Chains A and B, each alone.
Chain A
């Protein structure tokens, strides 16, 4: 399949590129895979892109947007990858696992292919009220938080914590549908815009909540920046918890005598500049000894779970960034690697197992740590 480079050039402002390499130099997967976004821009500019079939590494991009954040000329390199993926989607030339994920969203509202009817099963016994009855804060759960057994405890912990702080919390139940953040990033623009955003916006606005709190930075990113919601504040749960702690509405009477480090998720940190709130929450936990990894905040090393990578293994399964990252966490002397994203949780939990580090490092969501410190 030939990529229509003229169309890409008309849609994306690539002419400002000076080929300095800042994008590729910062690209986390450029070390482990053949993906070279700087060179891809050059090939697009001069009309020398190879056939799409020869660009499997395009699916390696995690859409961490380090390239976009750092480009000195305001070119948005990752958007080129999304654009090429879009053409591949249109002609059906996409990896089978991604195709399956998209079908799952189309049929059941989640990429994991589980039944829509089971979407709220994770919340059983939590007495979580239907948002349709009216609520101040609408909890938006990531599909992973809702269905993945590994991620569900974090969502349940979050509900307990928010309720302990007296937050008037509601949930969409089985009406909740995938936010589509990764759908847009794998290039399925039509499904994202015409189905997920359009229907999602109407549903979310109909609740009349003051704010939405998300379990995932990915949902947070797209609902906040791409949905165009009117009159609703969108917050990642760490922001809400930091606010509740600061206002004194959330008090932690228990303690957690552990050394903990924190991994900045790309969609929360780099892309939305939420760096301090998760740290403030961790520091507020009595007894917790907080340590930083060398690469933190803007330099956090991507877990490789974004941009559709939850549904695509990648061209290098031997050397995963998550392997490096959990080692960096171990090197700090931390016993717990705190995360604030269900994708990071999945990637790092897996890496800890593969690398045989279970005895030394536990991967936990910040919500779980806070729930443990609730005490009484």
Chain B
């Protein structure tokens, strides 16, 4: 080991407020760390991730000539990038940073202070041992394909496509059906202002179709996606034709399916012409015709939460728009039939959001009657329908006679969500919608970098929220496009050609297609651009010819030895 790389380690113990300090004697851990071989300086501080905390690392690194940094705090999933950045600013190679998780794996799960402190010491010793053997790795970047592909031509897809295109990049908008507009095209008017949908949707479609940098592919489907952030290649089928499209980023805006109320047979949908969905009522209101079998309804009953908030159906979530849709349609029905009694049967009224509560107020003031009770059954009585429901405020089951029953149906993950998920390796949450990278901090990102989510494919939402998310997805997709380069993982696998027998097992096991057999030399070569550093090849290789950088046997064994000492 040369003088230059002789370990000079700084160790930083975080209190995490009282999260760690209440259970672990942080001062004792720091004192212990100071005694470990190679450690030049050990400190403890309230919040290492804070500005002053990071400054400690940077200043020590410069003043003491540190070449390795160990931070004992939370999970590396939380702050590894933070501390790698701090180390780098202090002149330490970021890959010579190591973390010991003394919060999730220690203070949060133990009560005994002495035992927790002893365990924290072991974890720190282990991290220091690994750090001693860490090699500097080079930060690498590759160029980016200037352009994006948006999958789905509804409101979310169109809005995202326009923003990316307006920023100067070519966009291909791939739509499965033969038209743009998605489900919004089936809406007559929108809440909370009763504005005709066509007034904003038609110009939006127009703008997309005429934009010089947007190519719209209708009746088209993505069949295959290869590559990685900055350099995706998509195979798109349009009829018999196949074309390959390169893209720096992909935005998923595939939308949702409308719940089919035939799955709630007790509500009589598909059996009685007088039972319709909110989507069908939308068209009837537009046509101004609410008659059932030629008769004008004297009474209209809305049923909320159909297909939503229902554990038995597997749809535990709230569809977030049905309360507002019902309030909107109830008002429109009241306008068309001022004499009719209009009732909304509900479990809860959730008209949150800007102007939501006011809109609900307007519906009631217009004479719409809200009755609390989840409709249990619909059946016929002569020419009329009966809604059987407990009015929970009356504490009595009523057989409410009506003429038109409107089922406020919710949203479901698309039937083909599984296929799209497989295509892009997109995880889905328990409800079946696509899973965002972080519920708070990564609402449009996915587990695959360079792939972003917009609209109801991620979760049910209304049009304003859909547009907000679409614009966020566009802006995130623009980050790699505008930078022109993307950083790629440095902790990749490397093959020792001397040891490789060319068996090809690494090629088979790699989920990213990174290793390939060199046709000339018959040995494996790993494409570092494709490699994600998962290590599957390294453990599979029977000749031990593959080494995963940053997780080498020497490093890991040192880490284990320190733990068991």
Contacts and interface: CB of A to CB of B under 8 A. Distances in A.
A25 B390 contact: yes
B265 A25 contact: no
Contacts of A19: 392
Nearest to B388: A25
Contact of B379 (A21, A71, A295): A295
Nearest to A75: B311
A30 interface: yes
A56 interface: no
A72 B397 contact: no
A136 interface: no
B535 interface: no
A36 B376 contact: no
Nearest to B265: A298
Given A26-B266, A72-B311, A299 B395 contact: no
Given A72-B312, A299-B266, A294 B380 contact: yes
Chain B interface size range: 20 to 34
Interface in B353-380: 372-377, 379-380
B336 interface: no
B347 A20 contact: yes
Contacts of A27: 397
A26 B309 CA distance: 18
A19 B347 CA distance: 8
A345 B519 CA distance: 81
Contacts of B373: 20-21, 25
Contacts of B265: 297-299
A62 B309 CA distance: 27
Contacts of B310: 72
A74 interface: yes
Nearest to A26: B376
A18 B373 CA distance: 11
B129 interface: no
A201 interface: no
A36 B374 CA distance: 14
Contacts of B375: 22, 25
Contacts of B372: 21
A73 interface: yes
Contact of B374 (A16, A25, A298): A25
Interface string A166-190: 0000000000000000000000000
Contact of A22 (B313, B374, B396): B374
A126 interface: no
For B265, B372, B374, the residue with the greatest tally of chain A CB atoms inside 10 Å of its CB is B374
A20 B375 CA distance: 9
A315 to B, nearest CB: 15
For B313, B389, B399, the residue with the greatest tally of chain A CB atoms inside 10 Å of its CB is B389
B305 interface: yes
Contacts of B392: 19-21, 24, 38
A195 interface: no
Contacts of B395: 36, 39
Given A20-B347, A27-B397, A72-B312, A299 B377 contact: yes
Contacts of B348: 18
B148 to A, nearest CB: 40
A31 interface: yes
B376 A22 contact: yes
A25 B379 CA distance: 13
Interface in A58-75: 66, 70-74
Nearest to A27: B397
Given A21-B390, A25-B389, A26-B266, A72 B305 contact: yes
Interface in A16-64: 16, 18-27, 30-31, 36, 38-39
Given A25-B388, A36-B395, 17 more contacts: A20-B373, A20-B392, A21-B372, A24-B376, A24-B390, A26-B376, A26-B377, A27-B397, A36-B397, A38-B390, A72-B310, A72-B312, A294-B380, A295-B379, A298-B265, A299-B266, A299-B379
Which 9 A-B residue pairs are closest in the complex by CB-CB distance?
A: A25-B376, A26-B376, A21-B390, A20-B374, A24-B390, A30-B397, A22-B374, A72-B310, A25-B390
Interface of B: 265-266, 268, 305, 309-313, 347-348, 372-377, 379-380, 388-392, 395-397, 399
12 contacts: A21-B372, A21-B390, A23-B376, A25-B374, A25-B388, A72-B310, A74-B311, A294-B380, A298-B266, A299-B265, A299-B377, A299-B379
